[in-house]
Amino acid sequence: MAAAATSSPHSMLLHRPSPAAAVSSIRLPARAAKISCAAVAAPSAAATAPFAAAGERGVYNFAAGPATLPLAVLQKAQAELVDYRGSGMSIMEMSHRGKEFDAAIKKAEADLRTLLSVPDTHEVLFLQGGASTQFSAVPLNLCASPASPADYLVSGSWSDKAFKEAKKFSAASLAWSGKDGKYTSLPPLTSISQNPDAAFLHICSNETIHGVEFKDYPVPANKSALLVADMSSNFCSKPVDVSKFGVIYAGAQKNVGPSGVTIAIVRRDLVGNAQPNTPVMLDYKTHADNASLYNTPPCFAIYICGLVFEDLLAQGGLAEVERKNQHKAGILYDAIDASGGYFVCPVEKPVRSLMNVPFTMAKGADFEKKFIAEAAKENMLQLKGHRSVGGVRASIYNAMPLSGVEKLVAFMKDFQARNP
């Protein structure tokens, strides 16, 4: 097997806090000193182990989301958990209108703007309700009425869900569907049937379940030239020209943070036109006017996203992150394609996802089960395909270290040799 620790750490900014230093810097009030808290009083063996690189927590987590986070981010959050930067309280316990959280959310927004070169024409909003809530928020905000047409390109389960929800709040129609081809392809971008009267064209830039990813984006042919993208599962995995999009939205829990916060990047001129019966929490204007602090936001999730953004910037930004992602995905797809049909990725090569790699085994479902179980024994976890499609799926988001993919590839070769 390839040595797990040979690749360099992906996270560079947030250096490993010494567990001893982290514990001793925690200021507890005298009365609280007697409280027995395992995490503080007696750091576990795992917490004190000398981590050199992400992935050295003993397992590689291939989950599709919530997904693995950079180890350095978790360690920084751990060090700051009990006493956030000398405030004497956790960031979870303080007012979302206080100076500490205000600084944290502003820094998170500023760093995200830098990472994605978000132009001033666009708002950055930190929202709740998951990406699924955006399936209704988008048509409610961008369509004048439920009779307004909108175009949906359906390339997998998630854009299909978005399309179905949009039908409640717009006259959504199908610009293209990959259903007959079992969601393994995308159309040539010029052959999408677009309605010139549509309010927008909606795509899912990366289908998490089917592993289909746009490498380039369709040019919207509607009257306002509006393109909207659900980027939940490839957000911040590569540079994106944000100016091409009216709205980008993403649940954070794959590439940039924990579940609980959804990020929307919305062109400012689209804010303030919601249908009259739009719930206040779904109206982009509510959140744009209040700097994402209309109500209590998911403070801890936003804070973690901020740490991830710092980490991505320290890695050299999204061009560098994309380079690493291309390399990781490349060796996995190469291993599948070089297996002589033993492992099969059904997705057409030009649109294969860099983030979610689904594959099946020619020997059938029983062998897939055996593969997943044996991989788990080797500490490669959560490789089961989505319940709707079966098979195997390796989600290899930004925070999956190269060593995790190398270990998986070595295991695949070994498994094949043992089970010809």
| Smallest gap from residue 287 Cβ to ligand PMP (A) | 16
Strand partners, 171: 149
| Per CB under 6 A, 233 contacts ligand PMP | yes
| Smallest gap from residue 65 Cβ to ligand PMP (A) | 5
Phi, psi angles (nearest 5°) of residue 352: -70, 135
Q: Which stretch binds ligand PMP (CB under 6 A): 9-17, 36-44, 230-238, 268-276?
A: 230-238
Q: Which stretch binds ligand PMP (CB under 6 A): 125-133, 146-154, 191-199, 311-319?
A: 125-133
Residue selected from 17, 130, 149, 390 as contacting ligand PMP according to rule CB under 6 A = 130
Task: Say whether 254 is catalytic.
Answer: yes
Q: Which of 111, 151, 160, 230 is catalytic?
A: 230
User: In terms of Cα–Cα distance, which of 408, 409, 389 is closest to 346?
Assistant: 389
Q: How many CB atoms lie within 10 A of CB 293?
A: 15
In the window 188-207, what residues touch ligand PMP (CB under 6 A)? 204
| Per CB under 6 A, 208 contacts ligand PMP | yes
| Smallest gap from residue 317 Cβ to ligand PMP (A) | 23
| Per CB under 6 A, 251 contacts ligand PMP | yes
Nearer to ligand PMP, 395 or 403 (CB): 395
Nearest position to ligand PMP, beta carbon? 130
Nearer to ligand PMP, 76 or 393 (CB): 393
Q: Which stretch binds ligand PMP (CB under 6 A): 4-12, 20-28, 32-40, 128-136?
A: 128-136
| Smallest gap from residue 262 Cβ to ligand PMP (A) | 6
Q: Which of 76, 151, 158, 238 is catalytic?
A: 158
In the window 43-82, what residues touch ligand PMP (CB under 6 A)? 65
| Smallest gap from residue 186 Cβ to ligand PMP (A) | 14
| Per CB under 6 A, 90 contacts ligand PMP | no
CB of 339 closer than 8 Å to CB of 416: yes
| Smallest gap from residue 64 Cβ to ligand PMP (A) | 6
| Per CB under 6 A, 158 contacts ligand PMP | yes
Phi, psi angles (nearest 5°) of residue 191: -105, 20
CA distance 281 to 294: 9
Task: Say whether 197 is catalytic.
Answer: no
Nearer to ligand PMP, 207 or 310 (CB): 207
Nearer to ligand PMP, 254 or 285 (CB): 254
What is the 8-class DSSP label of residue 121?
T
Residue selected from 132, 173, 177, 379 as contacting ligand PMP according to rule CB under 6 A = 132
| Smallest gap from residue 249 Cβ to ligand PMP (A) | 9
| Per CB under 6 A, 139 contacts ligand PMP | no
| Per CB under 6 A, 230 contacts ligand PMP | yes
Nearer to ligand PMP, 148 or 233 (CB): 233
Nearer to ligand PMP, 72 or 347 (CB): 347
User: In terms of Cα–Cα distance, which of 358, 419, 362, 348 is closest to 390?
Assistant: 358
Nearer to ligand PMP, 66 or 149 (CB): 66
| Per CB under 6 A, 232 contacts ligand PMP | yes
Nearer to ligand PMP, 264 or 321 (CB): 264
Residues 6+ apart with CB under 8 A from 211: 345, 347, 352, 353, 356, 357, 358, 393
| Smallest gap from residue 358 Cβ to ligand PMP (A) | 13
Angle, to 10 degrees, between the axis of helix 299-314 and the axis of helix 99-116? 40
Site residues, ligand PMP (CB under 6 A) = 65, 130-132, 158, 204, 208, 230, 232-233, 251
Active site residues per annotation: 158, 230, 254
